[in-house]
Structure 1
Amino acid sequence: LYEAGSARRKLFKKTPKPQQLSKLATVLKPYSSGLALHNVLSPAMPEITVAKQRDLEFKAEIVVNATRYEAVGQNKKIAKANVSEMVLRDLCLQHLSAQGDEEQQLDEVEPNSYEALLMTNVASFAVHKLLEEWNASLLAVNWQPTISSPSADGIKIRSQLPPNPTSYVPTSLLVFMVPQVKFENDGETILGSTDQKIYKARARVDGQCFFGTGSSKKLARMAAAQDACKTLFGVEY
């Protein structure tokens, strides 16, 4: 098997570079972190559980090789992607740290081995992540937001959402869309015998009030902004 693997590698090295690149292009397809991890761990891919947190975020959990991984995100999809990336990172770093002499190990990797599967999918995820960054940069350069005419109260509201609006924190998105939005503290309450304070906040937009609560003033404002973004712009976190 080793001799056969060496023969294949020598044949690949002798192949003209355009053909080598063509072969690599068929292998290195952009994969999200979730898909790449599924490819590596399949068919025994553990389930990723997602639970909503009190601070308006979602927490994703997965257990791989007796290690529990946790990551948060502003929605379920982002939380799952983040925890999948954490697992991929650890699997890759553990594999690299277990290597001895780099040249010797590269010669010993078989095309259909776990090492080849892992590194190919890590590379595919790296391509996916790079393309996402490039696309975000292009959208940021080419995107020109439009501002609607001022309302009767002189409030200017943007009529076009930015690319991927849920990647913004609700308060940041609301301020971006409505630069003149006003946040106000609306008091606090005490929960039973726990002495835990629950803060209230409101966001005023063009005569409308949106309310939110949270364990801190910041989270209360975020909840109010989330309500405003959903009502005014249809953005759901």
Structure 2
Amino acid sequence: RRRPLWMTKGSKLTKRERQRRRNIRLHKMLQPKNALMILNELVKSATFTVAELPAPVDGCLYEASVVIDDIEMQGLGRNKHAAKSAAAEAALRHIVKYKKPANGQESMEVTEIPWQHLASFALYKLFNSWGEDEPKTPKSLPPNAEEINPITLLNQMQPTAQYEEIGKSGNPPNVLFTMKCMASGENFIGTGSSKKAAKKMSAYAACHKLYGIQYPS
């Protein structure tokens, strides 16, 4: 009776089959997970404190904190979940960079670093970033757009808008600043007696050109 092929001496898996099995193992081991999920797996007792900011900071309304190794990690976000995620990511950085093993050695052994967890978080970040360059539905102007500070309005409509000082002329107190606003692939110039005023005028020019806003004179 002929023996099955897998029992034949010297039989080997093909390269394609080995690759397939390796991919299956990796797929089971590495699942995309956000910072909160990873931190909860690494630090079972992690407790977050979330507070509303007295004033927005870069568009963020909430601040979250979590204590790891007696060190408080903080994060900001537009909502409570985003703030907790930012704090959790800061905690992960601390665990990888600074956490010492329990035996008190000065450096962490390679096996101590949670590579599988980090890989899962890296996959999560990668998949999330893939949608950032996709075209987004244009936002609708608020009904009172002409009453809103042009810098504030442009920040709402064009979060990626950037400003740059490109000129300064005159002597104090008669100094004239020139600022450039870059939005929607175009440049808008504004001048003023201060950087703030010049920035506002460049945002004004952008809002007028991009959205047809007529500000009261």
TM-score normalised by the chain length of structure 1: 0.46
Higher helix proportion, which one?
1
Larger RCO (alpha carbons 8 Å, 6+ apart): 1
